[in-house]
Amino acid sequence: MHFARIKQIMSDSDKEHQLQNIQHLEPVVQSHVPLKPAPDPKALRVESVGKLLDQAYQRASTLKLTDKEARELRAPFPDDAVEIRPHDGALYISHMALRERLWEVFGPGEVAEICRDKFIRADTHEVAVDLVLIVRGCFVAEAIGTAQYFASNRNQSYGDVVESAWSDALRRCCKKFGIGTQVWRPSFIREFLRKHPRQRKAYELRSETEGEQRDAETASEKTDSQADWRSVTVHFGKNRGVRLGDLAESSVQWYARDWLQSKIKSGDVTPQDRILIDALMARERESRNASQSEEVKQ
Mind listing the pLDDT tens digit for each residue in 3-49?
Answer: 455 445 445 555 555 545 545 545 555 555 666 777 777 788 788 88
Single-letter residue type at 129: V
Average pLDDT over residues 189-205: 72
Distance of alpha carbon 140 from alpha carbon 62, whole angstroms: 9
| Confidence check: pLDDT of 224 > 50 | no
Which of 19-23, 250-254, 259-263 has the highest mean predicted lDDT (pLDDT)?
A: 250-254
Give the model's pLDDT for residue 259. 82
| Confidence check: pLDDT of 187 > 60 | yes
The answer to whether 176 touches 141, Cβ cutoff 8 Å, is yes
Q: How confident is the model at residue 126 (pLDDT cuts 50, 70, 90)?
A: confident
Average pLDDT, the chain: 78
> What is the DSSP secondary-structure string of the chain?
-HHHHHHHHHHHHHHHHHHHHHHTSPPPPPP-PPPPPPPPHHHHHHHHHHHHHHHHHHTTT-----HHHHHHHHPPPPGGGEEE-TTT--EEE-HHHHHHHHHHHH-GGGEEEEEEEEEEETTTTEEEEEEEEEETTEEEEEEEEEEE--TT-TT--HHHHHHHHHHHHHHHHHHHTTSSGGGG-HHHHHHHHHH-HHHHHHHHHHHHHHHHHHHHHHHHIIIIITTTGGGPBP-SSTTTT-BGGGS-HHHHHHIIIIIHHHHHHH----HHHHHHHHHHHHHHHHHHHHHHHHHHH-
| Confidence check: pLDDT of 225 > 50 | no
Q: Among the listed ranges 128-132, 167-171, 250-254, which one has the minimum average pLDDT value?
A: 250-254
Give the model's pLDDT for residue 290. 66
Give the model's pLDDT for residue 296. 47
Q: Structural domains in the chain?
A: 41-197 (3.30.390.80), 226-286 (no CATH)
Average pLDDT over residues 138-142: 97
**pTM of the entire structure?**
0.60
Give the model's pLDDT for residue 87. 61
Distance of CA 243 to the CA centre of its chain: 29
Distance of alpha carbon 261 from alpha carbon 271, whole angstroms: 17
Distance of alpha carbon 55 from alpha carbon 60, whole angstroms: 9
β-bridge mates for residue 119, sequence order:
128
First to last CA, the chain: 124
Give the model's pLDDT for residue 213. 53
| Confidence check: pLDDT of 226 > 50 | no
Give the model's pLDDT for residue 142. 96
Average pLDDT over residues 161-170: 93
Which of 28-37, 182-191, 207-216 has the highest mean predicted lDDT (pLDDT)?
A: 182-191
